[in-house]
Amino acid sequence: MFHLQAGLTGTAMTTVTESNTAQTMRSGSLPVFATPSMCALMEEAACAAVANCLEEGTGTVGISLSITHSAPTALGKQVEAEAQLTSVEGRKLTFAVIAKDDKGTIGKGIHERFIIDNAKFMAKLNK
């Protein structure tokens, strides 16, 4: 069925700009990397970890994300997220996620995704 196994990793990178700050995203009032932006980057890394292992016509959707955001990142700095697949339980995938900037870890946590049939998922949505 699926060719997924624990240990797969994926990464995603971004630069902190006005568009992904807490101030712009309304998740805070300061011009620093926003927690919602970090969450999205972690999800992007998880998607990248399994993208080449999914059957044609399938995808994944996020079902939970439990993270800490422990340090700020300034405008102009790069942030990299890494996701490691730690568990495959049927169609449920669990990842350890971490985000870092040039000073070290800025956030980490656990992210779960569910494998879906893209067409069925969209058909259900459009009912």
Per-residue pLDDT of 30-65, as tens digits, reads: 999 999 999 999 999 999 999 999 999 999 999 999
CA nearest 41: which of 17, 59, 57?
Answer: 17
Catalytic one among 14, 21, 43, 60?
A: 43
Return left, alpha or beta for 108; rule: phi > 0 is left, psi -120 to 50 is alpha, else beta: beta
Catalytic one among 35, 80, 86, 112?
A: 35
The confidence score (pLDDT) of residue 115 equals 96
Catalytic one among 69, 82, 94, 111?
A: 69
Average pLDDT for the chain: 95
How far is residue 72's CA from residue 88's CA, in Å, rounded to a whole number? 32
69 is catalytic: yes
Confidence (pTM):
0.94
Coil, helix or strand at residue 126: coil
Contact (Cβ atoms closer than 8 angstroms) between residue 58 and residue 122: no
